[in-house]
Amino acid sequence: MTDTAAGSDPVIDVRGLVKRFGKKTVVDGFSIRVERGEIYGFLGPNGSGKTTTIRMLCGLLTPDAGEGTCLGLDIRTQSAAIKRQVGYMTQKFSFWEDLSIRENLDFVARMYGLPDRRRRVGDALDRLGLAERQAQLAGELSGGWKQRLALAACILHEPKLLLLDEPTAGVDPKARREFWDEIHALAETGLTVLVSTHYMDEAERCHRIAYLAYGKLMTHGTVDEVVAGSGLHTVAVSAPHLGRVAAELEGRPGVEMVAAFGTRLHVSGTDRAALDAALAPWAERADVRVEPTGPTLEDVFIHLMNRSTDNFR
């Protein structure tokens, strides 16, 4: 992050946000503070309220309760002014497939009423590596190039806050990495980014993350802080016939999760003594290797899911 000094005014500072749709409370008492230049990731199962929360944070959706500011503006009374400073990239590609890359960007610039439109479009084409493809129809692009076009359109009006809703779904690993390199470069200029994702490796590229489960904020902080604060202990087990070992460990006292990771099992629980006792018979076997390992973010993600209650049941 850059330009984030201790005690600086946050880009987002909200408290007690609540959103209901009918009788269902989709977001329940959400509070968070985001500094300028941060990449803040939102994780959680489907239906956890990630997108609804992000939309409330930037004035796209009015909360039923709670208060706060975004870009120094009140999220309830000044939402129109907030929207003008926000770039929003949706999961679904929403540009005109029968127009070229340049024509799409030019159309978006016209909608924003941007001055010096030709220069801005040219700068966006250069920044996202689209200049050589600018005459190509959007409908002919691969997922990765469509993603670049969508990001270029989002930053045309030079927003102060960028919202990314599952931005790399269906995109290959190389394109995903290039996309995230560009997001970090934008954050270095002071742009603040909110991103919802299901990919653990993407969450690990965020400066901080928040985990929501069915409307409630379960934890937040850096990845290291979230993992350390989970109270979860994980042991790696290497053995022949891993499926049989997993079946025998499932449900034992102290064993809360068993998951296969390649040629090893991750066996996790919050009671370290009980976990060790459950694994003791295996640790004595010559053909089995049992060694402590730190829990992964995915281990923590599943652990938090198991602790939460689906409010749509």
Q: Over the stretch 299-309, which tens digit does the pLDDT of each residue have?
A: 998 888 887 75
Q: Is residue 284 part of a domain?
A: yes
Could you tell me if 213 and 249 lie in one domain?
Answer: no
What's the pLDDT at 202?
87
Q: Is residue 24 part of a domain?
A: yes
Using 50, 70 and 90 to split pLDDT, how confident is the model at 175? confident
Domain boundary among 227, 246, 265: 227
Could you tell me if 205 and 268 lie in one domain?
Answer: no
Answer whether residue 115 shows pLDDT above 50.
Answer: yes
What's the pLDDT at 109?
94
Could you tell me if 38 and 141 lie in one domain?
Answer: yes
The residue ranking higher by pLDDT, 58 or 133, is 133
Could you tell me if 140 and 247 lie in one domain?
Answer: no
Domain boundary among 227, 255, 282: 227
What's the pLDDT at 5?
41
Strand partners, 40: 194, 208
What's the pLDDT at 87?
92
What CATH number is given to the structural domain containing 277? 3.30.70.330
Sheet containing strand 161-165, strands side by side: 86-89, 161-165, 192-196, 39-43, 208-213, 216-221
Q: Is residue 302 part of a domain?
A: no
Could you tell me if 156 and 266 lie in one domain?
Answer: no
For residues 16-30, give the mean pLDDT.
93
Answer whether residue 268 shows pLDDT above 80.
Answer: yes
Answer whether residue 3 shows pLDDT above 70.
Answer: no
d(CA 81, CA 85): 7
Could you tell me if 140 and 73 lie in one domain?
Answer: yes
Answer whether residue 17 shows pLDDT above 80.
Answer: yes
Domain boundary among 210, 227, 244: 227
Answer whether residue 98 shows pLDDT above 50.
Answer: yes
Using 50, 70 and 90 to split pLDDT, how confident is the model at 8? low
Start-end of H helices in 29-169? 50-57, 79-83, 101-112, 117-127, 143-154
What's the pLDDT at 75?
93
Average pLDDT over all residues of the chain: 89
Could you tell me if 210 and 241 lie in one domain?
Answer: no
For residues 92-116, give the mean pLDDT.
90
Answer whether residue 94 shows pLDDT above 70.
Answer: yes
The residue ranking higher by pLDDT, 3 or 208, is 208
Can you tell me whether residue 237 is helix, strand or coil? strand
The residue ranking higher by pLDDT, 55 or 2, is 55
Could you tell me if 195 and 214 lie in one domain?
Answer: yes
Using 50, 70 and 90 to split pLDDT, how confident is the model at 93? confident
What's the pLDDT at 159?
94
Could you tell me if 142 and 288 lie in one domain?
Answer: no
For residues 93-103, give the mean pLDDT.
90
Percent of the chain topping pLDDT 70: 96
Say if residues 181 and 174 touch (Cβ distance below 8 Å): no
How many domains is the chain partitioned into structurally?
A: 2
Q: Is residue 252 part of a domain?
A: yes
Identify residue 201 by its one-letter amino acid code: D
The residue ranking higher by pLDDT, 256 or 214, is 256
Q: Is residue 289 part of a domain?
A: yes
Start-end of H helices in the chain? 50-57, 79-83, 101-112, 117-127, 143-154, 173-188, 200-203, 223-228, 242-249, 272-283, 297-307
The residue ranking higher by pLDDT, 300 or 169, is 300
Could you tell me if 72 and 117 lie in one domain?
Answer: yes
Residue 126 belongs to domain spanning: 12-227
Q: Is residue 307 part of a domain?
A: no
Write out pLDDT tens, residues 36-86.
Answer: 999 999 998 888 888 899 889 888 899 999 999 999 999 999 999 999 999
Could you tell me if 128 and 22 lie in one domain?
Answer: yes
**How many degrees, rounded to 5, is the angle at CA 111 between CA 106 and CA 116?**
55
DSSP state of 151: H
What CATH number is given to the structural domain containing 28? 3.40.50.300
Could you tell me if 96 and 189 lie in one domain?
Answer: yes
Q: Is residue 310 part of a domain?
A: no
Say if residues 196 and 294 touch (Cβ distance below 8 Å): no
What's the pLDDT at 309?
59
Q: Is residue 271 part of a domain?
A: yes
Strand partners, 14: 32, 68
Answer whether residue 114 shows pLDDT above 50.
Answer: yes
The residue ranking higher by pLDDT, 9 or 69, is 69
**How many degrees, rounded to 5, is the angle at CA 165 between CA 113 and CA 198?**
165
